[in-house]
Chain A
Amino acid sequence: MSDTPDPVVPRSGETVASFEHSGRSPLQKLQHFLHQFPTMVPVIVLILSVIAFGLISPNFFSAFNLSLILQQVAVVGTLAAAQSLVILTAGIDLSVGAVMVLISVVMGNLAVNYGVPVPIAIFIGLGCGAATGALNGLLVTRLKLPPFITTLGTWNIFLALNYYLSARETIRSQTLDAEAPLLKFFGTRFEIGGAVLTYGVVLMLVVFAVLYYALYKTAWGRRVYAVGDDPEAAALAGIQTKRVLMSVYVVAGIICGLAAWSSIGRVGSVSPTSFFESNLESITAVVIGGISLFGGRGSILGPLIGALIVGVFNSGLRLAGVDVLWQLFATGWLIILAVAIDQWIRKVSS
């Protein structure tokens, strides 16, 4: 508005504008900086929390403990990658955790109970992941149901299917070792200079790297952001928004399938009752990672850092001998803080 010249006092417009510019308070400068680099918030929080917990408990800083955190967040981190895609389109996917457990049951059942060759069982499992995503996508794009309600429904449906297919029975670790060791592949450990990592950690990092490429270096990625930011504008500018949304849900489903494979390695068995809270944990990682729930804003690397922050808090508080309930308490405040900061940063444009 300061651009419009004042009719009474000519040329005052320009001076006001330049005054405003140079007179930014440090807080406003910070706001503009964070608006430009939204991922800096979680990065700063991660660095500060690592330093703080390192000072409290000396064991925290060991390569072993830090790598243990990576192992602990590998599954939820991979799920958070799927969740990020959906949240970038201004949606939310409550079904990711249920899909993951369902797919792990599908893979385990096919391989162990039906004698399907393990690679084929895995392939079918990933296909089922795509199918669950396609179902969510169809409901959202064709029936125009809100993603929250759609995935609340499919969450229950997938959970029921999971109990039906598994008969609520766990496929034990020894059985997997004997009949389908490949299913536990992502639990395999390897050591680099005192740090013990699993292939599940590598999978998580690769998923994020591929998504980074897809979102920033391909037309598909730019369209995902455009659809999340303003779907009407994207449609008028010639983007087929339904097709983009559909592809997002399908890709998210496939990533959930990968997370399922990774989760078998992490737990060591196929358990239909595991990872019950992973839906909400994935959303937590995305929100703390600075991706806006309103869509179209935030870096895909944010949720990776968000997942690490939760892991660091849990590990740090445990090493400090604090009761487990305070981990939940801290996570809760982190979520609220992250959303509050997001709102504050968004005000910069108005």
Chain B
Amino acid sequence: MNQPLLTARGLVKRYGRVTAMDGADFELYPGEILAVIGDNGAGKSTLIKALSGAVRPDEGEILLDGKPVSFGSPLEARQAGIETVYQTLALSPALSIADNMFMGRELRRPGIMGKWFGMLDTAAMHDFSRQKLSELGLMTIQNINQPVETLSGGQRQGVAVARAAAFGSRVIILDEPTAALGVKESRRVLDLIQDVRSRGIPIVLISHNMPHVFEIADRIHIHRLGRRLCVINPREHSMSDAVAYMTGASLPAGVAA
């Protein structure tokens, strides 16, 4: 396999006396879906926060394309091409789909109106949003000016994923994308994730839903007690194996206790 796109080595994060990350490693290869699973409190969300810029690790290094990076805020991670879809989605319910797609990076009109009067290029933003949504097969949403709160849970998730896919040039991190959804809507979001992957953008998927993880992940990173326990191939292990590794009931072959 080729070089990993995103690597973390020996990450440590302490909150007072609690050590949330204790020498965690992480590798994401180009074009793959990597699932990150672990029991509650295993430190997987701290790991993800470190990768998405929300938390600065105390020790260890993060490499993007082999070059060390250090993110002071989610904004810096975004500028490096790492987009995160948070469990809360970070959408503004009263604003329109187009407004949400461009929140924080709005397009201004060319020329004097844009430069001196800050006038937004509404038409360009609408076209872009419509194009991105239809690329991902989300054009059941008819009106791009519709407030996000009028959408169903799955459609909202779709808008958040489309936003990440539109701007995330390197990596997309999805935090529990199906946790709040019904069966049918989860299905659509899983299809969407595979669609994004087929465009060549690697995805980090954090999920508690084992069937979903085993269905779409290429590799599964199992986090336990603040560090990576192992990485397994979902085609060589069963779900109950994974749960056993996660909870410490058994150890995968080749891993020392």
A residues whose Cβ falls under 8 Å from a Cβ of B = 1, 3-5, 13, 213, 217-220, 222-223, 225-226, 229-230, 232-234, 236-239, 296-297, 349
**Distance A238 CA – B86 CA, assembled complex (angstroms):** 12
Contact B88 A296 (CB under 8 A): no
Contact B118 A218 (CB under 8 A): yes
**Distance A223 CA – B106 CA, assembled complex (angstroms):** 10
**Distance A225 CA – B91 CA, assembled complex (angstroms):** 12
User: Which 10 residue pairs spanning A and B have beta carbons closest together?
Assistant: A238-B104, A4-B182, A236-B90, A219-B106, A349-B149, A218-B118, A237-B103, A226-B92, A233-B90, A229-B92
Chain B residues within an 8 Å CB radius of A225: 92, 94-95, 99
**Distance A4 CA – B108 CA, assembled complex (angstroms):** 40
A231 CB, min distance to chain B CBs, angstroms? 10
- B131 part of interface (Cβ distance < 8 Å): no
Given contacts A3-B184, A218-B117, A220-B118, contact A349 B93 (CB under 8 A): yes
Chain B residues within an 8 Å CB radius of A220: 118
Contact B120 A236 (CB under 8 A): no
Of the residues B74, B84, B185, contact of A3 by C-beta under 8 Å: B185
Chain A residues within an 8 Å CB radius of B104: 223, 234, 237-239
**Distance A220 CA – B95 CA, assembled complex (angstroms):** 14
A-B contact number at CB 8 A? 88
B95-146, CB < 8 A from A: 95, 99-100, 103-106, 108, 117-120, 122
Contact B119 A218 (CB under 8 A): yes
- B69 part of interface (Cβ distance < 8 Å): no
Contact A233 B91 (CB under 8 A): yes
A33 CB, min distance to chain B CBs, angstroms? 13
Chain A residues within an 8 Å CB radius of B105: 238
Contact B182 A233 (CB under 8 A): no
Chain A residues within an 8 Å CB radius of B184: 3-5, 13
Chain B residues within an 8 Å CB radius of A219: 106, 108, 118, 120
The residue of chain B having its C-beta at the shortest distance from the C-beta of A227 within the complex is B92
**Distance A218 CA – B92 CA, assembled complex (angstroms):** 17
B residues whose Cβ falls under 8 Å from a Cβ of A = 74-75, 78, 84, 86, 88-95, 99-100, 103-106, 108, 117-120, 122, 147, 149-150, 152, 154, 182-185
B159 CB, min distance to chain A CBs, angstroms? 12
Contact B93 A229 (CB under 8 A): yes
**Distance A1 CA – B95 CA, assembled complex (angstroms):** 22
Contact A238 B88 (CB under 8 A): no
The residue of chain B having its C-beta at the shortest distance from the C-beta of A228 within the complex is B94
The residue of chain A having its C-beta at the shortest distance from the C-beta of B104 within the complex is A238
Contact B94 A3 (CB under 8 A): no
The residue of chain A having its C-beta at the shortest distance from the C-beta of B101 within the complex is A237
17 contacts between A and B (CB under 8 A): A1-B182, A4-B182, A13-B184, A217-B117, A217-B119, A218-B117, A219-B108, A222-B99, A222-B103, A225-B92, A230-B93, A233-B91, A234-B104, A237-B91, A238-B74, A296-B95, A349-B93
A11 CB, min distance to chain B CBs, angstroms? 11
The residue of chain A having its C-beta at the shortest distance from the C-beta of B122 within the complex is A217
Chain B residues within an 8 Å CB radius of A5: 183-184
Contact B88 A3 (CB under 8 A): no
Given contacts A4-B184, A218-B117, A219-B118, contact A229 B94 (CB under 8 A): yes
Contact A296 B92 (CB under 8 A): yes
Chain A residues within an 8 Å CB radius of B93: 229-230, 349
**Distance A350 CA – B144 CA, assembled complex (angstroms):** 20
The residue of chain A having its C-beta at the shortest distance from the C-beta of B105 within the complex is A238
Chain A residues within an 8 Å CB radius of B92: 225-226, 229-230, 233-234, 237, 296
**Distance A155 CA – B168 CA, assembled complex (angstroms):** 46
**Distance A130 CA – B122 CA, assembled complex (angstroms):** 31
**Distance A104 CA – B9 CA, assembled complex (angstroms):** 62
A316 CB, min distance to chain B CBs, angstroms? 34
Contact B78 A238 (CB under 8 A): yes
Contact A234 B182 (CB under 8 A): no
Chain B residues within an 8 Å CB radius of A236: 74, 84, 86, 88, 90
Contact B86 A229 (CB under 8 A): no
Of the residues A1, A223, A232, A297, contact of B94 by C-beta under 8 Å: A297
